[in-house]
C-alpha cells in the first residue's frame, strides 16, 4: 500500500501504477457536473492555486450543519464518466494530479493523464460512511449558494482515504484490461453453452 | 386510521432501509468474502463494504449517499384509501430528508433544479395493489441511480448477442448484461430479470423480482435452473467487486416470466448494487404487526 499526501507532486504521480492501493492524506476538492461545467466555461483564476497538483473528487456529499461547523454525513464517489467531456481540459488548465471517482473514464481522459501526468483513483462505490469518517475537517466550501449542497465544491481534509489506481499516467487502464479479459471468458462460456 | 402512528412507521421504514441492510444481503456479501483470496483487492473491497454497512447501521445514516429512488409496494384492504397512504409517504419523505435518512434527491428534469425535501411526478414510485387480507403490507426499495443506469432490455431475436427465442438466448442476454455493467453498477450486484411481457410490464416485473429474498428458491424449476446457471457463469467472468477483478461478481439472480403476445419476446434486466436496500412491514390495528426481511 502507498501513502500519499495531496497535493501530489508529478514525481509521485508517475510512480503509481494501475492496481496500486493508496491511502490519501490532505486536501481533496469535490466536483460534480455543475462544477466541471463552471471550471471550463468560466475558467476562474482563483481556483488555479487550489487545484495545482490537487485532487478532485467526484462526489455529492450529504452535509450537516452543527453550530458553525460543517459535518460530512455521507460521502461516497459518484459515476465519473459523466465528466468525460470536461476532464481532459480540467487536467490541462488547472494542473490537477488526481481524480477520484468510480467506474473509470474514457480515452480522452486516459490520454490527458498520460500527457499531463495525472492518475485516476477508484474509490469503492457506495462506501459513504467509511469515506465520510476519513474526512477530518471541512476547510471551506465554494459556490454553495449558486450550485446547492451536492454540486458545491467542498474542500475536504482527509486522512487514510482508501482508493485504488485504475488508470495511471503511462496509458494503462484497469477498466479496459478487465473488460477485454472478461469479454474473452464470456465468449468461451457462450460457445460452450450452459443449460 | 391513526395518522401519526402510520406516519412514524413510514419514517422508521425509510430509516431502516437507508441505514440497515437486510440480513440475507449481508450474509451473501460475507459468503463472497470467503471465496476471495486474502489480501486481494476483491477481498479488501468486500471487507470495506462490510465495515461501511456496520457504520451506517450504528449511526443510522445512509450507507450510500445516493439514497436512490424510493420504490414502494403497497398491498391494502378495500377499506383503506390510497390517497391517505400517498400523503403519509410524501410526508415521511420530507421528514426523512430533514433527519438525513435521505439525501435531497429529486431534480426537476427540465430546469435541473433540486426540489429539496419535496416529492413530484416519478418520485417516489408507488405500486398499489388491493388485496383480500385485512392488513396493510408495505415494502420499500431504495434504488440507486448508478445501478439503475446499467439495467437493460433485449428484444429477441437479438443478433448482437446471437440470441434466439429460447432459454439459451435468454442466458446469453443476461450474461451480456453482466459483462456490460462491469465497473458501473457497484458490483457485486443482484439481477432481477423478466422474460416476456411488454416493454413496461417486463421491466416492472424484473424489478419486482428483487423483492424475493436472496436465499429463496424459484417455484418454477426451469427458471430455478437458469438462475443457478447464470450465477455460476457470471462469477466465472472474473469481474469481481467494483470491477477490480475477483470471484464475487453477482450475489444473486432472480428470474420471473410474464405471458407475451407472439410478436414480442423481451428479456429485461434490472441491476441492483450491493447496497440492496429493501425493507418492509405489515400494519394492523394501528400498529406494526411485523417487520419484513
Ligand atoms: S449504484 Fe448503489 S452503491 Fe453505487 S453509488 Fe449508486 S446507490 Fe450507491
pTM: 0.94
Residues of chain A with C-beta less than 8 angstroms from the C-beta of B149: 79
Position in ligand 1 atom list of the atom nearest CA B274: 3
Cβ–Cβ below 8 Å for B175 and A148: no
CA distance A19 to A55: 19
**Rounded alpha-carbon distances, angstroms, from residue B66 to A18, A78, B102:** 27, 8, 8
Residues of chain A with C-beta less than 8 angstroms from the C-beta of B61: 62, 73-74, 128-129, 132
Low-confidence ranges of chain A (pLDDT < 70): none
Backbone angles phi, psi at B95, to 5 degrees: -65, -35
CA distance A28 to A26: 7
pLDDT at B111: 86
Report helix, strand or coil for B183.
Answer: coil
* CB-neighbour burial class of residue B89 (10 A; exposed 0-12, middle 13-18, buried 19+): buried
pLDDT tens column, B123-161? 999 999 999 999 999 999 999 999 999 999 999 999 999
CA distance A3 to A92: 25
Measuring CA to CA, which residue among A67, A32, A55 is closest to residue A151? A32
CA distance A195 to B105: 42
Report A:15-54 residues touching B (Cβ under 8 A).
19, 21
Give the domain ranges of chain A. Answer: 2-191
- Please determine, for residue B103, whether its predicted confidence score (pLDDT) is greater than 70: yes
Smallest Cα distance from A157 to chain B, Å: 19
Report A:127-156 residues touching B (Cβ under 8 A).
127-130, 132-133, 148-150
CA distance B259 to B126: 23
- Please determine, for residue B104, whether its predicted confidence score (pLDDT) is greater than 90: no
Tell me which DSSP letter residue A112 carries. H
Contacts of B121 (CB under 8 A, 6+ apart): none
State which H helix or E strand residue B27 sits in: helix B23-35
- Please determine, for residue B1, whether its predicted confidence score (pLDDT) is greater than 70: no
- Neighbouring CB atoms inside 10 A of B55's CB total 17
- Cα B111 versus chain centre, distance: 28
Position in ligand 1 atom list of the atom nearest CA B144: 7
Q: What CATH code is assigned to A2-191? A: 3.20.130.10
Position in ligand 1 atom list of the atom nearest CA B143: 7
CA distance A101 to A163: 9
- Please determine, for residue B117, whether its predicted confidence score (pLDDT) is greater than 90: no
Mutate which of B183, B221, B224 to test chain A, going by most A C-beta atoms within 10 A? B183
**Rounded alpha-carbon distances, angstroms, from residue B127 to B10, B13, B123, B240:** 15, 16, 12, 33
pLDDT at B2: 64
pLDDT at B251: 98
Measuring CA to CA, which residue among B139, B100, B105 is closest to residue B119? B105
What average pLDDT does chain B have? 96
Smallest Cα distance from A102 to chain B, Å: 7
Sheet with B287-292, strands from edge to edge, namely B125-130, B69-76, B136-143, B277-284, B287-292
- Neighbouring CB atoms inside 10 A of B206's CB total 28
- Please determine, for residue B105, whether its predicted confidence score (pLDDT) is greater than 90: no
CA distance A20 to A24: 12
B177 vs B119, residue with greater confidence: B177
Tell me which DSSP letter residue A19 carries. T
Contacts of B202 (CB under 8 A, 6+ apart): B153, B194, B195, B196, B258, B266, B267, B268
- Residue with grid cell 429512488, as numbered in its chain: B69
* CB-neighbour burial class of residue A94 (10 A; exposed 0-12, middle 13-18, buried 19+): buried
Residues of chain B with C-beta less than 8 angstroms from the C-beta of A182: 179, 182, 237-239
pLDDT tens column, B52-90? 999 999 999 999 989 999 999 999 999 999 999 999 999
- In a 13 Å sphere around the CA of A101, the CA atoms on its Cβ side amount to 28
Report helix, strand or coil for A158.
Answer: strand
**Chain B residue closest to A167 (CA)?**
B244
* CB-neighbour burial class of residue A138 (10 A; exposed 0-12, middle 13-18, buried 19+): middle
Measuring CA to CA, which residue among A54, A106, A100, A58 is closest to residue A85? A106
- Please determine, for residue B3, whether its predicted confidence score (pLDDT) is greater than 80: no
pLDDT at A191: 85
Amino acid at each position: 500500500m502507498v501513502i500519499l499526501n495531496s497535493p501530489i507532486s508529478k514525481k509521485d504521480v508517475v510512480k503509481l501504477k494501475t492496481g496500486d492501493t493508496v491511502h490519501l492524506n490532505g486536501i481533496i476538492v469535490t466536483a460534480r457536473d455543475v462544477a466541471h461545467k463552471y471550471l471550463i466555461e468560466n475558467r476562474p483564476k482563483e481556483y488555479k492555486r487550489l487545484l495545482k497538483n490537487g485532487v478532485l473528487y467526484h462526489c455529492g456529499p450529504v452535509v450537516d450543519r452543527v453550530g458553525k461547523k460543517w459535518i460530512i454525513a455521507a460521502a461516497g464517489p459518484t459515476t465519473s464518466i459523466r465528466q468525460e467531456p470536461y476532464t481532459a481540459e480540467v487536467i490541462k488548465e488547472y494542473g490537477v494530479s488526481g481524480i477520484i471517482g468510480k467506474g473509470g473514464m474514457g480515452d480522452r481522459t486516459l490520454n490527458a493523464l498520460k500527457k499531463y501526468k495525472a492518475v485516476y483513483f477508484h474509490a469503492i462505490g457506495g462506501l459513504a460512511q467509511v469515506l465520510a469518517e476519513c474526512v477530518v475537517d471541512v476547510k471551506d466550501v465554494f459556490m454553495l449558494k449558486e450550485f446547492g449542497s451536492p454540486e458545491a465544491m467542498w474542500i475536504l481534509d482527509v486522512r487514510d482515504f482508501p482508493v485504488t489506481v485504475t488508470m495511471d499516467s503511462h496509458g494503462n487502464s484497469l477498466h479496459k484490461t478487465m473488460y477485454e479479459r472478461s469479454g474473452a471468458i464470456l465468449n468461451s462460456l457462450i460457445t460452450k453453452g450452459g443449460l | 386510521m391513526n395518522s401519526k402512528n402510520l406516519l412514524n412507521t413510514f419514517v422508521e421504514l425509510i430509516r431502516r432501509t437507508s441505514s440497515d441492510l437486510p440480513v440475507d444481503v449481508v450474509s451473501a456479501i460475507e459468503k463472497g468474502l470467503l471465496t476471495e483470496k486474502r489480501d486481494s483487492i476483491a477481498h479488501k473491497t468486500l471487507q470495506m463494504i462490510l465495515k461501511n454497512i456496520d457504520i451506517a447501521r450504528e449511526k443510522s445514516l445512509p450507507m450510500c449517499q445516493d439514497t436512490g429512488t424510493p420504490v414502494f409496494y403497497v398491498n391494502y384492504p378495500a377499506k383503506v384509501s390510497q390517497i391517505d397512504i400517498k400523503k403519509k409517504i410524501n410526508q415521511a419523505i420530507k421528514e426523512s430528508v430533514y433527519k438525513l435518512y435521505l439525501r435531497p434527491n429529486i431534480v426537476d428534469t427540465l430546469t435541473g433544479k433540486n426540489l429539496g425535501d419535496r416529492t413530484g411526478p416519478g418520485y417516489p414510485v408507488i405500486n398499489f395493489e388491493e388485496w383480500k387480507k385485512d392488513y396493510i403490507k408495505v415494502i420499500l426499495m431504495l434504488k440507486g441511480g448508478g445501478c439503475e443506469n446499467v439495467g437493460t432490455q433485449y428484444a429477441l431475436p437479438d443478433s448482437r448477442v446471437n440470441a434466439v427465442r429460447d432459454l439459451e438466448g435468454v442466458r446469453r442476454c443476461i450474461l451480456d448484461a453482466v459483462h456490460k455493467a462491469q465497473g458501473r453498477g457497484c458490483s457485486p450486484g443482484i439481477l432481477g430479470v423478466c422474460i416476456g411481457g411488454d416493454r413496461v410490464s417486463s421491466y416492472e416485473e424484473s424489478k419486482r423480482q428483487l423483492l424475493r429474498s436472496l436465499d429463496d428458491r424459484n417455484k418454477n424449476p426451469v427458471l430455478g435452473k437458469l438462475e443457478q446457471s447464470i450465477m455460476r457463469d457470471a462469477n466465472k467472468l472474473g469481474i469481481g467487486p467494483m470491477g477490480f477483478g475477483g470471484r464475487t461478481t453477482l450475489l444473486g439472480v432472480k428470474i420471473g416470466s410474464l405471458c407475451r403476445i407472439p410478436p414480442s419476446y423481451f428479456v429485461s434486466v434490472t441491476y441492483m448494487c450491493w447496497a440492496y436496500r429493501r425493507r418492509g412491514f405489515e400494519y394492523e390495528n394501528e400498529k406494526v404487526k411485523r417487520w419484513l426481511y
